[in-house]
Amino acid sequence: MVASVYENDGQRELFLYWFQVKGELCTNEYALRWAEISNSILFNRRDSAFIRISIPYRAGDRDTVVLGEQFIRDFYPHIKAVLPK
């Protein structure tokens, strides 16, 4: 999982995101491309998912990251259920 903070018009958002390909978690575009290529060759599939969780954020607020990670742990089984397998 990758964490990034973006700001627009003074509003900050914490984004926690990753790519999911055939049950594998990828955190960068190179890993995503490699997974897509290998799945295309092995399984004749190129589907993938981009999952992003967005949370309002204040500078230095570590609780926001903890909250986001807990949300992902709690809801990941439900998220995974609707992703390509």
Q: Where are the domains of the chain?
A: 2-81
Q: How far apart are CA 20 and CA 84, in angstroms?
A: 8
Query: Could you list the pLDDT tens digit for every one of the 85 residues in the chain?
Result: 899 999 999 899 999 999 988 878 889 889 889 988 998 899 898 888 899 999 999 877 889 989 999 999 999 999 888 887 7
pTM for the predicted model, two decimal places: 0.80
Q: What is the pLDDT of residue 8?
A: 92
Question: Helices in the chain by DSSP H: which ranges?
Answer: 29-43, 62-81
How far apart, in whole angstroms, are the C-alpha atoms of residue 17 and residue 22?
Answer: 16
pLDDT value of residue 45: 85
